[in-house]
Chains A and B, each alone.
Chain A
């Protein structure tokens, strides 16, 4: 991948072309990525490949008219071409009313989420790890399907006003679905880390296999409201709809879940359980993120919900300027965690009189942006708990449930320790009530 000097030299070259072509302000960004993956299914390899690419984007302003062009070619002619294209577009575009001058020089912390071993995975070591997983599946008489991926990227940006930044990041993902031969049991488990060497393939395979075996012959359950325990994966499957609602502009424009009556927002309200903390932190040891927002604002720790109270909504550079507020230094990742000492999964199960243990959700969609009602289905492991013990597997269910109500003060009974499932750190949750509306025949 491109090093800092080479990446910023490309940016500077395009900036120079843009200036020569008449741009009054400009920002040039680069994304240089490498990707390597292997898929398997039916206990054998299916497809496997690798790719590399380099996207260069020039965004320019001429008299506050904006134009942008992207190309994946770093030849001298191409760099000249995109600067020229962007200026041509800007010249025929209307004035951008939301123009904010590009950033000037700023200090950024060093990135922490990059491992060279992830950028260049050893093919034979990967095949051996996958072989161990497939052996575990065959031994347990289940059929394994899964995905192993390692990606890395170098991103750089430079502006006409002197901002320069360069970050590297990497990510390794491994997931397995195990299915029993009679088609009545299915289990899924996954892990991810910025350092490929930190993925435990055998642990991931073992968890998926156990879930498949333990979920055989599920019994039907009448749809309705039930207490539930959501495993971290199930929380990760829902939480993106929640974290996406913190944008101040849509809340203040009256079209978000955090809009309130009479043009106000719900900032400062204790909408959620006092057990709930939500924040972003690019320096998080387990989930480091690039220490800048998408707009290039240096990112720091940012509390969104503390003890159930909404502490911050997020302001883009334009909306902060419009509302005379500070631009928000994030978010870059999302850490949902207990405000109190976390409960163990065993404690959560033992403390449940009757209810459901949910492994994950599938095909989750936002039904109502006013209340963050979501619909989706359970998948790959659902069990009935009675008097503190897992009793039997249950047929999958469709839910229609508001995330706001899910995290409401009296609905959160216990929160466990948070686990990395990028871009989140998410804990298991025990909830008093969760709404299911129909049975699914799917396994």
Chain B
């Protein structure tokens, strides 16, 4: 690795500080100007031309700039306000059917040529390990610009406004009996540029907003405590999400709920019919459907890390995944979805397709490298990297359970349940490496008795097996109950990368599910 990559500029000026130099404010400094675009073109041309010259049959480059702003608070204190920017590029090459990749934070033509050389050298050194040559499915040559939908750029909203929002949220959540409240809001702005040796040139900008908070109630005399997290509501939206969603109502509810949870009776372990709210069901979809239908897992790419899948590559089109009312789509076009994009990280246009249709598993999540391995000529556009410094690899699209065609209400789902539980909010989740056996907790869980919602219980978690769970689904809410939830912490790969992905669903009913009392373990 070069030892002087970061010394280029500051050493030239030494430590001298020039007083009175105009420094643009942060928002302005981040906007790409024509000089930025010209530099990007120069760097792209340098990398791709050099890679081709020294043996790459295919090359691409991602030049990405990420800007983030984070505010964390507890009670009526601001703990931290921070902003960060990260800018750099990654070059990926195919040489004799093997991949190589190199990345640098120096976005300059000379560094781009060096990175192309490093990537080609890696591919050549690894040639003795390439038992099979990589081939890529066709992708259209695309030259375009795409921006995610947002009304208000969060980076143009004054910090004071954002801090005031969080402190008001905390104040609202601190109802009598609540001991602590923590809250955080994160804004992310991704400016991504993709160019390939096939001629694609794609510029994209994505804005995401991530609010979350947690209430805690403690009983100092007994040493007991309970928490009520409200997380996973992040969306591909601007600051309008903060202004338009009723966050304060959620905060007050979370305050009352945690106080009630501290006094709630422990759940009796056993079998229950359960109705799972979108705020928890999204995670069950993520773990049991989203990950099991990633083709790279079924082909063994993730065997050493995230694991494989209970589905085999040949199962698409024939295997029964759930009851015949279960319809699940992969969708990178869904408004507000965290995995929504214009094009994936190898320039394939965002797609929407059925993964499960009428209960049958019908299609995998694919990339240009994966699609040919199951005889397909087109990728569903699932390649993603979490940074310019990361090797792009298959990641989950938004994967969502479709609502019933007619209006089915929550009361309809409860109606014939004699002994059941209604699971709301995220609790602890865990699932095995082939996505069979899972255990999920909830933020708030209430009894259902003879079709009516009852008292809150604590220490409950449900366990099931993916095909059994989805086969037991006999009720799905209607379109008006559909909600989009999502996680910003979907980990996969080595080195580990983080994906941001949403899952939409209405509440759904599952029969005869095992429920544990986790406090008795």
Which residues from chain A sit less than 8 Å from chain B, CB to CB?
Answer: 1-2, 6, 9-10, 12-13, 16-17, 20, 32, 34-55, 57, 66-81, 84-85, 88-89, 92-94, 96-98, 119-120, 123-124, 126-128, 130-131, 134, 143, 145-147, 149, 175-177, 179, 186, 188, 253-255, 259-263, 362-371, 373, 375-377, 379, 396, 398, 400-402, 435, 437-443
Contacts and interface: CB of A to CB of B under 8 A. Distances in A.
B8 interface: yes
Given A42-B301, A67-B81, A79-B10, A134 B122 contact: no
A13 B7 CA distance: 13
Given A38-B126, A263-B220, A367 B428 contact: yes
A441 B216 CA distance: 37
Given A1-B3, A10-B10, A52-B103, A261 B222 contact: yes
A243 to B, nearest CB: 19
Interface string B326-370: 000000000000000000000000000000000000000000000
Given A43-B131, A179-B300, A362 B432 contact: yes
Contacts of A370: 223-225
* Consensus secondary structure, chain B interface: mixed
B434 A435 contact: no
Given A13-B17, A254-B225, A375-B439, A72 B494 contact: no
B104 A443 contact: no
Interface residues of B, number: 109
A343 to B, nearest CB: 27
B38 interface: no
A147 B17 CA distance: 45
Given A93-B81, A441-B434, A13 B10 contact: yes
Contacts of B12: 76
Contact of A253 (B130, B180, B301, B430): B180
Given A46-B99, A49-B103, A98-B79, A442 B436 contact: yes
Contacts of A120: 1
B126 A81 contact: no
B431 A363 contact: yes
Contact of A81 (B9, B29, B216, B303): B29
Given A9-B15, A89-B83, A363-B430, A134 B25 contact: no
Contacts of A71: 84-86
Contact of A51 (B2, B216, B389, B463): B389
Nearest to B103: A51
A440 B10 contact: no
B223 A146 contact: no
B492 to A, nearest CB: 12
A400 B429 CA distance: 12
Contact of B82 (A70, A76, A441): A70
Contact of B221 (A255, A261, A371): A261
Contacts of A362: 307, 432-433
Given A49-B103, A131-B129, 18 more contacts: A35-B389, A44-B131, A49-B99, A50-B118, A51-B390, A53-B105, A67-B81, A70-B86, A81-B24, A92-B158, A123-B121, A127-B128, A134-B129, A254-B179, A370-B224, A375-B428, A437-B521, A441-B465
Q: Which of B301, B391, B514, B521 has the most CB of A within 10 A?
A: B521
B140 interface: no
Contacts of A76: 9-10, 12-13
